[in-house]
C-alpha cells in the first residue's frame, strides 16, 4: 500500500471516529445552553484569562444586555492545557495546543494585560503591577493556580529536563517529555512517575503519562528493557472508588508497580536520583520512611497552591483541608464567596472538594454566571453546582477510561451505558479526548457555548 493510501486510510479512521464521538456528544446533550438575558448593570472585573475566566467573560457578555466587563490577565497565549499530555506523548504537535490570547478574548471585553498584586475586597479595589488600581462592583476570581516548582529540592522550572527529570505541567516541559520518552524507549532502564501531596491540576495527568510511556515502549518492542514505577502521595491510586478496581487491573496487566502514601522531596539531577518519603499512619502515629531511587527517566508533579495574591487578599480558607494551599473560600454549590457576596470564584483556584479539570469548569461556568447575575439584580443565588468533574484517563494509545463523578465521588456518566460503558476504557472515549474536546474548548466554551 502506498504512503498516500496509508494517509488517506488513517484520515478516514480519524474522521469516522470523530463522527462517532460527535454522535455520542449529541446524544448526551453536551451542547445544550439555556438562552437567557438580563438588564442587570454593574462593573464586572474578571481576574484571570484561562479556561474559567474567558468562558465566564464570553457567557456574561452573551447574557447581559449591557455588559461592562474588564478582564485582567498578562498572558500572550491561551493554552489548551488538557492537551499537554498529548504533546508529551506525540499525539499532538506543540502548536496544536495554543492560540494567541488576543484572538480568544471576546471583542466586547476590555482586556487589561497586567498582573494582579493584591485585592482589597472591602473597598473593591484591585492593585495591578502596571495599571494602578482598578475598581469593581462585582469580582470574578479565576486566576488559576500557582505551580510551586521551588518546593521540590534540586530542580526549577528553568532546569526542567536536566538529569532527564521532566514534567508535563509546563508547555516547554511537555515538549521535552516527548523527546525523553522516545529516547527512554531506546535506552530502557527505570522510569519513575510521581504525583504530589497538594491538590493539583488534573489528578489523572501523572497516571496518563505513565501509562502512555509504558505503551510506547511496547509499541517500540522495547518493553522488556524498562522498569516502570508509579508513586502517589495518596492512600489510593485514585480518589473515586468506582474507577479504582479497573485502574489497578490495568497497572497490574501492564506490570507497573504502584507505591502509595509516598511524596517526592527532592531530585539530584546529576546522579539521576530521587528522594522520597513514605508516610504511613498507624493509629495516631505517623511513620516516615525515606526512599531513595535511581532512575533513567523521571516524570514528577510539582506542588501547587492558590496564587500568592489570593492568600494575601483574604480570600482563602483559614481552616480545614482546603486552607493549607490557600484555595478560595467559596460556597461549594453557589460558587459565591463565603464572606464577600459580590465575589464568585471558579476553576482551579476555587476551594471546593472536587478535581481541578476543564470538564469541571464547563459545569461551573453557567452556575457562577447565573448566580452572579442574580446578585447584580439584588436576588439570592439559586443555581447549584453538584461537584461534577471528569478526567479522561488515557490508558494507552487508542483507549480512555472516562472518569466522571460528583462531590460525593459517585459516578456521573454523561453518556447512556448503551452508548458507552464508563466502567471500562473505550476507543470512542479516545476519539472524544483527541478529536472533540479541544474544539469544544476553543470554539464552544471560550465563545460562551458548549455548556450544559
pLDDT at 400: 97
At the second CATH level, the architecture of 150-303 is 3-Layer(bba) Sandwich (3.50)
pTM of the model: 0.92
Contact (CB, 8 A) for 314 and 121: yes
Digit-coded pLDDT (tens) for 386-413: 999 999 999 999 999 999 999 999 999 9
Q: Please, which residues have CB within 8 angstroms of residue 56's CB and are 6 or more apart in sequence?
A: 46, 140, 142, 346, 365, 368, 369
Q: How far is CA 432 from CA 16, 91, 208, 400, in A?
A: 12, 14, 15, 9
> Mean pLDDT across the stretch 426-448?
96
Beta-sheet pairing, 189-194 with 165-166: unpaired
Beta-sheet pairing, 69-72 with 44-47: parallel
pLDDT at 29: 42
> Mean pLDDT across the stretch 60-66?
97
pLDDT of 346 over the 90 cut: yes
Question: 280 φ, ψ to 5°?
Answer: -110, 140
pLDDT of 62 over the 50 cut: yes
What pLDDT band is residue 284 in, cutting at 50, 70 and 90?
confident
| 391 belongs to the catalytic site | yes
Share of the chain above pLDDT 70, in %: 92
What pLDDT band is residue 104 in, cutting at 50, 70 and 90?
very high
Positions of CATH 3.50.50.60 in the chain: 12-145+306-389+432-447, 150-303
| 202 belongs to the catalytic site | yes
Distance CA 268, CA 262 (A): 18
Distance CA 251, CA 229 (A): 10
Distance CA 444, CA 64 (A): 18
Q: Residue 390: in which H helix or E strand, if any?
A: strand 389-396
Digit-coded pLDDT (tens) for 14-51: 444 444 444 444 444 444 455 789 999 999 999 999 99
Digit-coded pLDDT (tens) for 177-193: 999 999 999 999 999 99
Digit-coded pLDDT (tens) for 71-87: 999 999 999 999 999 99
For 39-64, letters b (16+ CB in 10 Å) and e give ebebebbbbbbbbbbbbbbbbbbbbb
> Mean pLDDT across the stretch 264-269?
98
Q: Which residue has the cell 503519562?
A: 209
Which residues make beta-bridge pairs with 32? none
Q: Which residue has the cell 468506582?
A: 242
pLDDT at 422: 83
Whole-number mean pLDDT of the chain? 93
Q: How far is CA 188 from CA 88, 180, 181, 214, in A?
A: 18, 11, 10, 11
> Mean pLDDT across the stretch 263-278?
99
pLDDT at 7: 39
Share of the chain above pLDDT 90, in %: 88
Which residues make beta-bridge pairs with 391? 403
- Residue 266: CB atoms within 10 Å: 14
Count the residues in the chain. 452
Name the class of domain 12-145+306-389+432-447: alpha beta
Digit-coded pLDDT (tens) for 287-342: 999 999 999 999 999 999 999 999 999 999 999 999 999 999 999 999 999 999 99
> Mean pLDDT across the stretch 128-135?
98
Catalytic one of 104, 202, 210, 403: 202
Catalytic one of 104, 210, 345, 391: 391
pLDDT at 452: 66
Amino acid at each position: 500500500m502506498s504512503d498516500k493510501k496509508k494517509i488517506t486510510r488513517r484520515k478516514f479512521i480519524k474522521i469516522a471516529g470523530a463522527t462517532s464521538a460527535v454522535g455520542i456528544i449529541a446524544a448526551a446533550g453536551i451542547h445544550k445552553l439555556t438562552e437567557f438575558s438580563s438588564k442587570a448593570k454593574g462593573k464586572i472585573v474578571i481576574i484571570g484569562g484561562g479556561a474559567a475566566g474567558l468562558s465566564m467573560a464570553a457567557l456574561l457578555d452573551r447574557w447581559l444586555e449591557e455588559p461592562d466587563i474588564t478582564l485582567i490577565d498578562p498572558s500572550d497565549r491561551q493554552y489548551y492545557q488538557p492537551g499537554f499530555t498529548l504533546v508529551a506523548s506525540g499525539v499532538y504537535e506543540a502548536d496544536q495546543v495554543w492560540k494567541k490570547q488576543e484572538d480568544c478574548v471576546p471583542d466586547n471585553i476590555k482586556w487589561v494585560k497586567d498582573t494582579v498584586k493584591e485585592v482589597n475586597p472591602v473597598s473593591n479595589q484591585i492593585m495591578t503591577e502596571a495599571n494602578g488600581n482598578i475598581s469593581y462592583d462585582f469580582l470574578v476570581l479565576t486566576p488559576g493556580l500557582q505551580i510551586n516548582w521551588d518546593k521540590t529540592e534540586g530542580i526549577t522550572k528553568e532546569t526542567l529536563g536536566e538529569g532527564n527529570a521532566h514534567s508535563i505541567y509546563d508547555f516547554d516541559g511537555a515538549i521535552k517529555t516527548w523527546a525523553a520518552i522516545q529516547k527512554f524507549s531506546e535506552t530502557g532502564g527505570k522510569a519513575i512517575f510521581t504525583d504530589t501531596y497538594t491538590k493539583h491540576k488534573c489528578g489523572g495527568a501523572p497516571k496518563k503519562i505513565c501509562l502512555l510511556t509504558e505503551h510506547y515502549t511496547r509499541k517500540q518492542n522495547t518493553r522488556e528493557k524498562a522498569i516502570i514505577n508509579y508513586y502517589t502521595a495518596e492512600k489510593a491510586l485514585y480518589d473515586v472508588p468506582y474507577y479504582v478496581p479497573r485502574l489497578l487491573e490495568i497497572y497490574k496487566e501492564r506490570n507497573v508497580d504502584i507505591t502509595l502514601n509516598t511524596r517526592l522531596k527532592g531530585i539530584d539531577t546529576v546522579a539521576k536520583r530521587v528522594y522520597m518519603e513514605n508516610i504511613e499512619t498507624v493509629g495516631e502515629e505517623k511513620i516516615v520512611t525515606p526512599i531513595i531511587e535511581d532512575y533513567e527517566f523521571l516524570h514528577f508533579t510539582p506542588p501547587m497552591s492558590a496564587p500568592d495574591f489570593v492568600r494575601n487578599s483574604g480570600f482563602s480558607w483559614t481552616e480545614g483541608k482546603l486552607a493549607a494551599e490557600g484555595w478560595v473560600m467559596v460556597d461549594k454549590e453557589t460558587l459565591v464567596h463565603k464572606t464577600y457576596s459580590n465575589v464568585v470564584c471558579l476553576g482551579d483556584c476555587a476551594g471546593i472538594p472536587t478535581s481541578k479539570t476543564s470538564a469541571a469548569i464547563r459545569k461551573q461556568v453557567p452556575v457562577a454566571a447565573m448566580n452572579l447575575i442574580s446578585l447584580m439584580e439584588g436576588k439570592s443565588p439559586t443555581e447549584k453546582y453538584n461537584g461534577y468533574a471528569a478526567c479522561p484517563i488515557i490508558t494507552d494509545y487508542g483507549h480512555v477510561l472516562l472518569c466522571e463523578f460528583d462531590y460525593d465521588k459517585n459516578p456521573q456518566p454523561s453518556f447512556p451505558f448503551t452508548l458507552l460503558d464508563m466502567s471500562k476504557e473505550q476507543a470512542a472515549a479516545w476519539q472524544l479526548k483527541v478529536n472533540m474536546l479541544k474544539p469544544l474548548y476553543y470554539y464552544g466554551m471560550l465563545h460562551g457555548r458548549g455548556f450544559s
